[in-house]
Structure 1
C-alpha cells in the first residue's frame, strides 16, 4: 500500500457520501412528500425545506471534500495512468452511494414498481458525472501548480 492510498480511500468515501446525499435529495421531491400522507405522518413545508437545505449543504461539503482530496491525491500521483482509474472509481462510488440514498426512500414513499424505480435510478445517476469531474478538477489544478512551480 503506497502512501497515497489513504487519500484515494478518502476521496472514494467523499464520493459515496456525495452520491448518497444526491440520491436522498432526488428521492425527497414533491411527489414523495404528497405520498407521505398515505404513510401516516406529515411534514410541514418548513420542515421539508429545512431537510432539503441541510442535505444540500452536506452535499456541498462532500463535493468540496472531493475537490480538496483530489487536489491532495494528485500531488504525487502518476497522472497519465492514474486519472482514468481515479475518475471511474469516483463514478462507481457515487453511483453506489446514490443507490443507497435513492432506493430505500423511493420504495418506502412510492407505490411504483421496482423496475420503474430502477429506471429512475439509472437516469438520475447520469447527473453524478459532476462528482468525478470535481475530483479531476482538483487533481488537474494540483498538477498544473506542480508544473508551474518548476519554471
Structure 2
C-alpha cells in the first residue's frame, strides 16, 4: 500500500467522526496482518486458534518460526507479544512489543501492549510513556487515556 494511503488512514484516526476512525483502525490492522500476504495471515490465524484453545507452547513455536523466517513481519512480533502477555511473561512481551514498534513505529496496538506490559511489572512511568505514544497516533482511544490516569494514580 502506498505511503500516502497510510498517511490518510493515520489522519482518519484523528477525525472526530467515530465511524471514520473505526474504518481507519480496521484498515490499518488489515494492512499489518497482510504485510506478508495470505500465507502470513494464515499462520497468524492458526496461532490465534492455538491460543484460543490454550495450546500456548505450539502457538509460541509457530510464531517463533514465523519470526525466524520473516523477521521484518511486525505483526508476528506483536502477536507473540500478545501471547507472552497472556501467559504472564511480561519481559518477553516487552521485548517483542519493542521489536514490533521498531519495525512499525505507528503500531498503536503494540504501543498499547507495551504500556500494559510495563504496568504489569510495576513500571508505571514507562507504561504512561507507551500509552501517550499510542495516543499520539489514536488520540480518541479512551482506553489509553484511562490507563494513563490509572498509572498516574499508582505513582502517587
Q: TM-score, normalised by structure 2?
A: 0.27
Structure with bigger RCO (C-alpha 8 Å, 6+ apart): 1
Greater fraction of residues in helix: 1
Q: TM-score, normalised by structure 1?
A: 0.27
Rg larger in structure: 1
